[in-house]
Chains A and B, each alone.
Chain A
């Protein structure tokens, strides 16, 4: 399919009315959308958001462990490089997509 046809198909899923083997297409689309957003914006520990490009795009500072040194400073701009949950003290990111989304 051409990119336009792909967009058109996604739009028709979103609008609902198609039955995808028992799953209403708008329900499927909502789930697909949620998963896509999660994949792009969640911590790189899960394997997406490579080099934290999504966070750089929206100026999200990531998972700093502590803001203790900033808590009484107001009106300052946090423009530090984003930081991942998966990052060690040397700045290496250790991906771990097998982290359970639930407690075992």
Chain B
């Protein structure tokens, strides 16, 4: 029978990267937050303790931190004329599970989108025209994200400084910086850490 729990202000569905950061910000504002996450609880000790965490068979080969595809399968096909089959071994993408989600085994690569990536439909329209998009047929469902690079930039900047992302800026406020990637979208400032 369903048991009614005491109401809280916010419930996050999932406590991965997004859920935990949102919960932190909301809790800082004084809201009571409960996070719901599948899987067993886990903590730095003992779950990430050395040497058990270096178990290659369990984590690297058997993907011990990933979604259990015996319980929750994902089907995949390479083209629309195939029948999609369940993925038995994770290879090309690794859906996380448990507290921390995929952020627990994130590679730490932290690239920004280009300006055009966030307005891709508009970008293609401006560059190649309406006929080009129509010629691709109804299967092309390309859309703009609804948020622009300039709107996101302060948030990119905040996250990179929070995580200590390292690199060399190639474009600070439109000024090309020697040593960095000249094609990147403009940043408001240099990286916190130099690579």
Contact = CB atoms under 8 A, between A and B. Distances in A.
B40 interface: yes
Interface hub of B39, B58, B64, B98 (most chain A Cβ within 10 A): B58
B68 A102 contact: yes
Nearest to A39: B57
A38 B61 CA distance: 9
Interface string B93-104: 000011000000
B50 A65 contact: yes
Contacts of B65: 103
B63 interface: yes
A30 B31 CA distance: 54
A102 B50 contact: no
A64 B53 CA distance: 11
Which interface class (under 10, 10 to 19, 20 to 34, 35 or more) fits A?
A: 10 to 19
B76 to A, nearest CB: 17
A11 to B, nearest CB: 25
A103 B57 contact: no
Contacts of A102: 62-64, 66, 68
Interface string B23-65: 0000000000000000110100000001110111110011111
Contacts of A42: 56-57
B63 to A, nearest CB: 7
Given A43-B57, A46-B57, A85-B52, A101 B64 contact: yes
A100 B66 CA distance: 13
Which interface class (under 10, 10 to 19, 20 to 34, 35 or more) fits B?
A: 20 to 34
B61 A103 contact: no
Interface string A44-67: 011000000000000000011110
Given A102-B62, A103-B39, A104-B40, A63 B54 contact: yes
Interface hub of B51, B56, B97 (most chain A Cβ within 10 A): B51
Nearest to A45: B55
Contacts of B50: 65-66
Given A38-B61, A43-B55, A102-B68, 10 more contacts: A83-B51, A85-B55, A100-B64, A101-B57, A101-B62, A102-B62, A102-B63, A103-B64, A103-B65, A104-B40
Interface in A19-33: none
A71 interface: no
Contacts of A66: 50
Nearest to B64: A102
Contacts of B54: 63, 85
Contacts of A99: 58
A104 B58 contact: no
A40 B54 CA distance: 18
Nearest to B65: A103
A63 B97 CA distance: 25
